[in-house]
Amino acid sequence: MLDARGEFHFMIKEIDLQTRNLLKELFKLQRVSYLIEAKLINFFNIPPLLETIDDLAACGEKFLGYFQGDELVGAVSFTIDGDVITICRMVVHPDHFRKGIAQSLLIDVEDRNKDIAIYQVSTGKDNSPAKSLYLKSGYNYINDHEVATGLFISHFEKRVLGVDRQL
pTM for this model (two decimals): 0.90
How far is the C-alpha of 25 from the C-alpha of 12, rounded, in Å? 15
How far is the C-alpha of 46 from the C-alpha of 148, rounded, in Å? 11
The Cα-based distances of 28 to 84, 91, 166 in angstroms read 29, 10, 39
Q: Helix, strand or coil for residue 134?
A: helix
How far is the C-alpha of 139 from the C-alpha of 115, rounded, in Å? 17
**Given this model, what pLDDT does residue 10 score?**
86
**Given this model, what pLDDT does residue 149 score?**
86
Give every residue of the chain whose pLDDT is below 50, as ranges: 1-4, 167
In tens, the pLDDT along 88-134 reads: 999 999 999 999 999 999 999 999 999 999 999 999 999 999 999 99
How far is the C-alpha of 44 from the C-alpha of 60, rounded, in Å? 23
**Given this model, what pLDDT does residue 164 score?**
60
